[in-house]
Amino acid sequence: MILGYALSIACLIWLLHDFHIVRALRDVSNVDWKWVILGMAFDVVSYVVQAVRWKLLLTPFGKVRLSTAIRSVFAGMFANLVFPLRPGEVLRGYLLSNSEGITIGRALGSVGVERLIDLVIATASLAVVSLFVELPRRFRKVADSLSIGTLIFLGIVVLLIFYLEWKMGTTPEPQPGTRRIVGKGMAALSALHAMGTAPSFYSAVLTSILMPFCQVLALWSMMRSYNLGLSFMGAVVVLLVINLGVSLPNIPANTGTYQLFCVLGLNVFQVEKTRATGFAFFAWFALTVPFIFIGFAALVRSGLSLHSLRESVVHRHAPVPSPPSANS
């Protein structure tokens, strides 16, 4: 948490250095609010699509109600807005597990599969965009490194699935003397195998393409409202840079890091710093506000209050206290 807050403060100091607030306010006064509302709508729809994908991924383990998946996703989003270290991913798995009778391990495992799919789609999108948009040399090197790393990681996952296919064919029943850790590892691989080989997995992958598409439309709409003049492909590049920057858990709502990486993404297209910083704060605020209200409503519908949410988050993230020493 200390690292996250220190990083956020450093980002804000860099962003606000030489920032001309009068010029930024002038830009905001010229915003086209029709495009802002459209961008908000696209962003909300993208997380509804995420809930649909989550439901499809969990199909091998039981029938998940779409309303429960949507409510859990938005409640998790709200937790990420008010708590550091992004506990919403754990919280939404916990809420869905309680409502649908699916084990917490499988629910959280499906979240991990979501992240793997998102990584593959982001890498593929970056490769496609680089064919149409002239990117700086350093940016291309980062893109190439990310692509190679993703292919290696994906290859390891595929090998694990094939290994499990062979293992289940030779020893379909678990050995009675299997150690607990090995047994848990095989259970996790079995869940991965069930998700990866289910017919619903292909529908989940197709749905995954729609989610970032809606998010790009949301960011592009914000750019249109701010008169930045960037193309749709430019919005793809900026969104990929933002997502890469906020991938590590940090302070609530990614304050500071979102704005920094948005400015870095816009810098690829030679957008002046004050204009880019003003847009970064404006887009962050406009795209965050809907989730405050929708997420809070989803939280209430889930039967949790802010106090119980805080207790749940603290309980699930706090370290186990050690026994008192002789000197205490």
Mean pLDDT by 10 residues, the chain (328 residues): 87 92 93 97 97 95 93 93 87 90 88 88 83 78 75 76 64 48 59 79 92 96 95 93 83 91 93 95 96 92 72 53 39
C-alpha span between 215 and 235 (Å, rounded): 9
What's the CA gap between 18 and 53, in Å, rounded?
A: 43
Residue 269 lies in a domain: yes
Q: Is there a contact between 65 and 100 (Cβ–Cβ < 8 Å)?
A: yes
Burial of 226 (0-12, 13-18, 19+ CB in 10 A): buried
Look at residue 185 in the predicted model and tell me its pLDDT: 58
Model pLDDT, residue 125: 85
Number of domains in the chain: 1
Tell me whether residue 326 is in a domain. no
Question: Residue 259: inside a domain, yes or no?
Answer: yes
pTM score, two decimals?
0.84
For residue 289, the model assigns a pLDDT of 95
Tell me if 40 is assigned to some domain: yes
pLDDT, residue 112, reads 86
Q: Say if CB 249 and CB 84 are below 8 A apart.
A: yes
**256 domain-assigned:** yes
Whether residue 324 lies inside any domain: the answer is no
Domain extent, residue 271, equals: 2-315
* Amino acid 34: pLDDT: 97
- Residue 272: inside a domain: yes
Please report whether residue 321 resides in a domain.
no
